[in-house]
Amino acid sequence: MNKTIDIQDLGHKDYKETWEYQEELFQSILATKIKNRREEAALETPNYLLFVEHPHVYTLGKSGDFSNLLLSEEQLTQKGATFYKINRGGDITYHGPGQVVGYPILDLENFFTDIHKYMRFLEEMVILTLAEYGLKTERSPGETGVWLDVGTPFARKICALGVRASRWVTMHGFALNVNADLGYFDNIIPCGIRGKAVTTLNVELGVDKVDEAEIKAKLLKHFLKLFEAVPHQEKVTF
């Protein structure tokens, strides 16, 4: 089993370009696994973790409800945003500047074959990271992601999750609101959940801006520990 992970920080990158790059990595891992089974080979499958920040974009999961997008095509253009229906689970979400997005493209057969455990590990990585800033965050029963004040009228989501998996290979991932413009969430019903708010780390901490490079480093630290993995690179910098 290969427990090394190639960590890549893509910087500020268009959503469609990043999606295509994810698909390229995802399909290459699948191809290796299929070859191993057909030819009884033992080729090692790689693992990746991509960090990225996108321009304003709304994405709708394969089972999502289009009516949860509250903008027309013309209004999307006016706001400088794009829209894509994609092949992950979950409903609609927003990505944009000030948000740390992570796409683990893993062969889970290198780690464990349990999608539920995989999702909980991603949530735990965020919960542990935010705890370093003094925030108590948690899961909300029946709703993926990471939340504050669960079970109260003030419940609000700070991190969304949505993944795709095939033959135990994953893609898509998590989006943590660090310094994001919350106004863009007013244009959707986030994750199809009515009546619950969205928040960002800088708002919760009462500061103008949180260091996003520091956030990525902390997320990576907890990710590697939870998955008992090591980075492919000798040194990872953001």
Helix (H) or strand (E) holding 205: helix 201-205
For residue 163, the model assigns a pLDDT of 93
Determine which one of 92, 122, 176, 191 is catalytic. 191
pLDDT category at 194 given cuts 50, 70, 90 is: low
Contact of 135 with 156, CB cutoff 8 Å? no
- Domain ranges in the chain are 4-229
DSSP structure class, residue 107? B
**Which residues lie below 8 Å from residue 70, measured CB to CB, with a gap of 6+?**
186, 187, 188, 189
Has residue 195 got a pLDDT over 80? no
Structure tokens at 119: 């999702």
Would the pLDDT of 191 be above 80?
A: no
The CATH class, in words, for 4-229 is alpha beta
CA atoms within 13 A on the CB side of 1: 13
pLDDT at res. 214? 98
pLDDT, tens only, 174-187: 999 999 999 888 88
Biggest CA pair distance of the chain:
57
Confidence of residue 78 (pLDDT cuts 50, 70, 90): confident
Mean pLDDT of the chain: 92
* Whether 85 contacts 79, CB under 8 Å: no
Asked if 159 is an active-site residue, the reply is no
| 189 has a pLDDT exceeding 80 | no
Q: Residue 151: what are its φ and ψ, rounded to 5°?
A: 85, 5
Predicted model pTM: 0.93
